[in-house]
């Protein structure tokens, strides 16, 4: 049995790579998607429908990347359309700050026009591109508040969610943005099922959950290094119960085996190792757990009364 001091050095592994770098940043996918609509009116992108339901012809908007003003309408309509189109020209030309300012003027000067409705979304998108996260979220939420039934309300929810998603950082840092992103992405998936927004949000939920599990692992390892096994076990328990279907689960089960062995709670150690073997039989973490319990002449054996067994029985009976 392990002594009550620090575990042996050869069992300490730290999974690297995931916490430091996300595989794909939303800034690439969303920026490219909206650019496709602005320049070509591509209906297959995530930004399909971003033009909304203003009075201009959608065909004209797609072909000219601008909202064509109705020259027969009142002079005010022509004026706001000119301002809006100037903002679009700046956006397409890469002058994001100028475009942001002009879209803001559209909303400020003509708040009741259909152009203002679209201008709010464009401000949200440009602020996002400029990494002005709070401004982007505020604009998206403003659209949601003013136009809860609007055609592009799904986009507004989605953009607000990915603003938090883009701020997910290393697991050593505060994870408040990750938690906000997870909640917002789940809301997108629930509110707008069967949409590209929901499909992408669902994939990002998996990344966010894995990241939060990674944070629990980070803290749990720290406690183990301090010899605070009970505190560490509580962190690894959170991974197993709250973030079970993540890449962190196999190591969490191994760490539970390790911690319970160190505390002399042999039955729980055997159970953790057995559950690990039943669910991840090819994992190196299982081979290490098997070796760990075998060193004391034991073998992995699940107790049906253990919380570990119960946590897995509901979805994957042993």
The verdict on 134 and 232 lying in the same domain is: no
Residue 134 lies inside a defined structural domain of this protein: yes
Cα gap 220→235, rounded to integer Å: 5
Please tell me the predicted confidence (pLDDT) of residue 123.
95
Question: Can you give the pLDDT at residue 75?
Answer: 53
CA distance 116 to 106: 6
| Domain membership flag for residue 297 | yes
Task: Indicate whether 154 belongs to any domain.
Answer: no
Is residue 295 assigned to a domain?
A: yes
Closest CA to 249 of 224, 219, 279: 279
For residues 139 and 32, membership in a common domain is answered with yes
Residue 16 lies in a domain: no
32 and 138 belong to one structural domain: yes
Total domains present in the chain: 2
Query: What is the model's pLDDT at position 256?
Result: 97
Q: Which of 143, 168, 186 is the last residue of a domain?
A: 143
Domain, as residue range, for 31? 26-143
Q: Is residue 111 part of a domain?
A: yes
pLDDT tens string 6-22:
333 222 222 222 222 22
- Final residue belonging to a domain, choices 110, 126, 143: 143
Last residue of one domain, picked from the residues 75, 110, 143: 143
- Could you give the CA distance from residue 113 to residue 110 in angstroms, rounded to a whole number? 6
The pTM score is: 0.68
Quickly count: other Cβ atoms within 10 Å of residue 139's Cβ: 28
The answer to whether residue 66 is domain-embedded is yes
Segments of the chain scoring below 50 in pLDDT: 1-74, 314-318
Give a yes or no: residue 200 inside a domain.
Answer: no
- Residue 63's pLDDT is 30
Q: Which 3 state secondary structure label does DSSP give 131?
A: coil
pLDDT at residue 76, as a whole number: 64
């Amino acid at each position: 049995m392990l002594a009550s001091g620090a575990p042996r050095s050869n069992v300490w592994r730290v999974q690297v790579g995931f916490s430091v770098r996300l595989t794909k940043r939303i800034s690439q996918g969303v920026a490219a998607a909206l650019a496709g609509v602005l320049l070509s009116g591509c209906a297959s992108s995530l930004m399909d429908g971003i033009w909304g339901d203003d009075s201009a012809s959608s065909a004209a908007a797609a072909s000219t990347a601008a909202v064509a003003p109705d020259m027969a309408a009142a002079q005010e309509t022509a004026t706001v359309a000119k301002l809006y189109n100037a903002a679009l020209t700046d956006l397409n030309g890469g002058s994001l700050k100028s475009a942001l300012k002009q879209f803001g003027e559209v909303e400020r000067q003509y708040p009741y026009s259909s152009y203002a409705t679209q201008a709010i979304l464009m401000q949200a998108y440009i602020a996002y591109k400029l990494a002005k996260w709070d401004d982007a979220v505020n604009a998206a939420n403003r659209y949601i508040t003013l136009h809860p039934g609007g055609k592009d309300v799904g986009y507004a929810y989605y953009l607000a969610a990915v603003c938090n998603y883009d701020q997910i950082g290393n697991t050593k840092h505060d994870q408040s943005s990750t938690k906000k992103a997870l909640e917002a992405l789940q809301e997108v998936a629930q509110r707008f099922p069967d949409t590209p927004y929901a499909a992408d949000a669902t994939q990002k939920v998996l990344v966010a959950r894995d990241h939060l599990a990674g944070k629990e692992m980070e803290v749990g390892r720290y406690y183990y290094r301090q010899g605070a096994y009970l505190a560490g076990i509580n962190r690894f328990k959170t991974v197993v119960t709250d973030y079970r279907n993540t890449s962190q689960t196999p190591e969490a089960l191994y760490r539970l085996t390790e911690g319970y062995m160190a505390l002399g709670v042999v039955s729980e150690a055997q159970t953790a190792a057995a559950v690990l073997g039943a669910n991840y039989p090819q994992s190196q973490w299982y081979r290490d757990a098997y070796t760990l319990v075998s060193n004391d002449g034991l073998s992995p054996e699940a107790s049906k009364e253990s919380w570990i067994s119960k946590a897995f029985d509901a979805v994957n009976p042993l």
